[in-house]
Structure 1
Amino acid sequence: MAGQPTAVLRPHVLLCMAALAAALGGTVQHANAQDVAAKPCAVILMHGKWGSPQFIGHFGRRLEPYCAVNAIEMPWSRRRNYDIPYPQALKEVGSQVQALRAKGYQRVVVMGQSFGANAAMAYMAQEGDADAVVALAPGHAPAYMYSNGIGKDAVHKARELVKAGQGSEKLAMDDLNQGKRQSIRMSADVLWSYFDPAGLGHMPGTAASFKKPVPFLWVIGTNDPLYAAGEDFAYRKAPDHPASKYLVVSAGHIDTPDVAAAQVLEWLRGLP
């Protein structure tokens, strides 16, 4: 149906929306149906470590000619400071995905920058119900931190406490973000969920665990520390899909989304 005039799409979409509204007890409104007819794509957009939705808002607005964009605050924001475990954070994302489906969006994309990219991949591994995944300048590497001794003792302690049923005990550790360290304090179960070197934060593992093949866009800048790892680090481990793409741009870790915005939008428009 891509490329058909809105006037052609609208009667069909409104009919589908009416049926959906009846099935959901009338919760879908006519205005939402019009939005869906105009924008066939919806995006859940997640920010990076110690950031906020505002940090990626400009990029999100550049997608809005084609997609409805919902930028959400994640537990690794500066304000929330790791307030819930990683699996629960992904359940929060799932609630947003389901809300967009209830509005009638047929394509829901999970997308993020840095830690948000890590979460988009983890979401596809845990929940697996997104229609596409976009990883912009992927970040948060607990295996790298662990192998370099950053927070290693705290991770060991967290693992033992969780095994002993004492996951609520508080621990402190150093967090790492693009070469900068920051002391953080959280419960053992939360710490273990984010910093387990083989857990949900380990991108090679989550890419290999996507619950189904979906279009997967990996966007990396030539000045990003992860650029040297190449396609084999995680991108090639995801299930093959003909619309997947490894996109390289001339940018660093922070500015990759804005530099790549036009190409990301083009990729979204071209999905089958």
Structure 2
Amino acid sequence: MFKDILVPMTASVGDVDALNVALDLAASQGAHLSVLELVGLPMPLASPWGLMPDVAIAEAYDPLREQGERNVAKLKARLEREPVSTEVRLVESLLVEPARMAAHHAHYADLTIVAGSIGDTAEGVVPRTYFGSLLLESGRPVLVIPPRCKTPMPPRRIVAAWRPTTECARAFHDALPFLASAEAVDVLVVDPVGGDRGDGEQPGVDIASHLARHGVKVNVVVRESKATSVSAVLLEHAREMRAELLVVGGYGHSRLREWAMGGVTRELLIGATIPVFFSH
């Protein structure tokens, strides 16, 4: 079960939805919910004498800190009405980017829930930056909640994308609390590869047997991508199944390659309208 859940505020439109989903999940799991309000402080400018104290910079910090304190007060007022254990942390980030500071705090949580974005827009840059740091630097799974998503937690119907890779094996293990409690789980294998180090003669059967031993109500589905992308196949099957969650391994290729040339992680981040559970 998830007993420690973390939600970093990204100052994006999806924060409210991410927080609402986190509250539902915390209530269902009897979990403690920690909310991060991160204040990014600009670095002092260098001078011939090095990084010297600058009165102007110090004064610039004051309104940022005050805004952070106001945000914390609003969050506390929102959370005190909830029947779950919660806390709000005000975290200043000076020498480290806020997203990387959030990843540090995620070391002490079972799961991080973060706002997502629909479409490859400028507004989605910040939440995607948080996602990348959290997934690659925290060692913990990340649940991405698209804006205006009101999926109930825990999810009842799940599509879990399988390939015999480290990232997918980690995702299936990390998502077991969701998988074991779901009414139906489709293990979806797209474009299986044969051979001893591939999917084998019966793609998906080995991982399905493993999940069944954990009490997962699992079904194996094999599909070909043909002229479309793997992410499109995943999203189409999720719609057909009326799934409430996708489980995938994140960044099987390098992060730079994903964003430069495309990849399943990138395409799900900008195209999924249901929550996506990523592990790396």
Both proteins in one fold, TM over 0.5: no
Q: Which has the higher contact order (CA 8 A, sep 6+)?
A: 2
- Larger-gyration structure (1/2): 2
How does the TM-score come out when normalised to structure 2?
0.30
